[in-house]
Chain A
């Protein structure tokens, strides 16, 4: 695992020098962060909203009709994979060795598997024309898992700064409230 991580850090660090250079410019990192937060809100606003509907909120809205919002949630996800890659390409060691990042990637993977489970099991039943307003129990469980995982992804993303490996400020690794990107 350690060798794999070292290799990955080296590969990422050398993958796209112009991107890293842009990210280290005055507004590169702040701009990418702002976009990352906009994508986050799109993802939560569309996928989280759909989860809330499955759990029983706004039952008069047909599940199939509200599902048309999902592509916008996926657009938010795509925006965040792209903007997130920019951070990873610029400071790979700050992420690859960071337990908060490792959990974040785990939760994203689980959220993806959870969504695929939804489409493989109960999606057809929940969205057919004569579907009752109340979603099937399986769909409710999947929705609750989805909401929990995305909240976990956000929290892990936000906690990245506090689990940075290496020194960042006089306090060193650990809880570092004033930490801003290096260089």
Chain B
């Protein structure tokens, strides 16, 4: 708890939390939502293709969209750290936050496995798992606002 209290007292944390600038909390949150759409959305589109949507699209060529997916992912990695610096206690004392991270880790792991499997066919189950991971991460992320036990250290 000492570390969390210290982190919350830093200028960076106070800026994220309290600055009236739209580039502080509101801007970081907006970037996090755009990145979510790109990362989860493009992975979902690839999964839909594997499950039979748009059958005339070459599945292997879908990987050309992965740079945009990774752009969304890293945008969210960075903006997520920004949000974490603002409210470290709120996230780190909430089991739902660790569920979200685990689902994202699963989703990221599946990106590579799906690309391997596409060559040999039979990626359908992985595509379903990918949809579950990214959809689950979105839901767990949204519910963070409703499931936290401590907003800040000592509260």
Contact = CB atoms under 8 A, between A and B. Distances in A.
Nearest to A52: B68
Contacts of A145: none
Given A45-B43, A158-B30, A38 B22 contact: no
A57 interface: yes
B114 to A, nearest CB: 15
B26 A34 contact: no
Nearest to B144: A30
Nearest to B40: A41
Interface in B2-33: 17-20, 22, 24-26, 29-30, 33
A78 B136 CA distance: 20
Q: From A40, A45, A49, A155, name the one whose CB has the most chain B CB atoms within 10 angstroms.
A: A45
A96 B36 CA distance: 26
Given A37-B142, A52-B68, A65-B54, A154 B33 contact: yes
Interface string A61-72: 110111111001
B37 interface: yes
A68 B34 contact: no
Q: How many B residues are at the interface, by size bracket?
A: 35 or more
Interface string B37-48: 110111111001
Interface residues of A, number: 40
Nearest to B42: A45
Contacts of A52: 65, 68
Interface in A40-80: 40-46, 48-49, 52, 57-58, 60-62, 64-69, 72
A175 interface: yes
Given A45-B45, A61-B64, A175-B22, A30 B146 contact: yes
A34 B17 contact: no
A178 interface: yes
B118 interface: no
Contacts of A180: 145-146
A143 to B, nearest CB: 13
A48 B41 contact: yes
Contacts of B19: 175
Nearest to B44: A45
Interface in A130-167: 151, 154-155, 157-159, 161-162
B64 A34 contact: no
A183 B59 CA distance: 48
A158 B22 contact: no
Interface of B: 17-20, 22, 24-26, 29-30, 33-34, 36-38, 40-45, 48-49, 53-58, 61-62, 64-65, 67-68, 86, 134-135, 138-139, 141-143, 145-146, 151
What 3 pairs between A and B have smallest CB-CB spacing?
A45-B41, A44-B37, A58-B64
Interface of A: 30, 33-34, 37-38, 40-46, 48-49, 52, 57-58, 60-62, 64-69, 72, 151, 154-155, 157-159, 161-162, 174-175, 177-178, 180
